[in-house]
Amino acid sequence: MRLAYDPSHYRDNTNLKDTIDAVARLGYEWVELSPRKDFIWFYEYPKVDKQLIKDLKRYCSDAGVKISSVLPVQQWSSPNEEERQVAVRNWKRCIEITSDLGVDLMNTEFSGDKSRPVESEGAFVKSMYELMPFFEKEGIKLNLQSHPHDFIELNTEAIRMIRALDKDWIKLVYSVAHAFFYDDGIGDVEQHLEEAGGLLAHVLIADTLNHKAAFGLRYIINPPNANVTIHQHLNPGQGEVNFDALYRKLREMKFDGIVTNSVFAYPDKPEWSNEMTLKSIREGLHI
């Protein structure tokens, strides 16, 4: 099992070298390179050149940190064809960067337009057929997660889409903080993991509150029924996810993929947040 850290707490006010050093200081051997402005940002063309790739490899070597995966988010499922083409172009560059870093895994979200799911699915499949040869040429695997407000939010639908692509190198990311979006608000983490089975390759650890609690009034939004989604990435124990059940099921499955600290809520006190989350992961998974 690879225990990794998503350094989103450090993305806005810490340079890349100091971020990698922080990952090592917090107790991790692996880092998940999530979006940041000075590297690969949401929906944008990567701001990376050969020198930055060389520097990043040196930063990691010096700190004793390895890159578990590179995480770009692009609108590759957009029903807008021009936007989709831009995303595919950006993806090709992200794949190239990942290969140059010597990393063999990327993970991402389905993206797209929740209000136009059929068109978004068509755009996603078109993008995948354009990009699959590039992944295979570079020997890079891909892990996909459904995400609140994407065209795929449900755990079951994400699994079905991955099966439809039918590639051994495409697997599932399970984000614990999305548990109450992955079904009808029950948040049954054991059932979600059971559904995933052998497709499960990556688990993102963070807690969240059930947005469907209190008769749907946990969050009051004006106007009612606005087209928005809300969730959190909190320390385990601060929300309503059943972490005892989650950890027990992962142990039963003998899960041996990537487990990432995916808490984003405390950039003002990241070391305190990590202490709580890392303790939860190690005790829960007996590592």
- What does the domain layout of the chain look like in residue ranges? 2-285
Dmax (CA) of the chain: 54
| 132 vs 226, higher pLDDT | 132
- Topology (CATH level 3) of domain 2-285: TIM Barrel (3.20.20)
Q: 127 and 78 in contact (C-beta within 8 Å)?
A: no
Q: 53 and 100 in contact (C-beta within 8 Å)?
A: yes
- 232 pLDDT above the threshold of 90: yes
Percent helix / strand / coil, the chain, rounded to 5: 45, 15, 45
Tens digit of each residue's pLDDT (9 = 90 or more) over 89-134: 999 999 999 999 999 999 999 999 999 999 999 999 999 999 999 9
Calpha distance 191→7 (Å, rounded): 29
Number of other CB atoms surrounding residue 104 within 10 Å = 15
Span of 73-77, 184-188, 196-200, 232-236 with lowest mean pLDDT: 184-188
- What one-letter code names the amino acid at 215? F
Whether this prediction's pTM lies above 0.75 is answered by yes
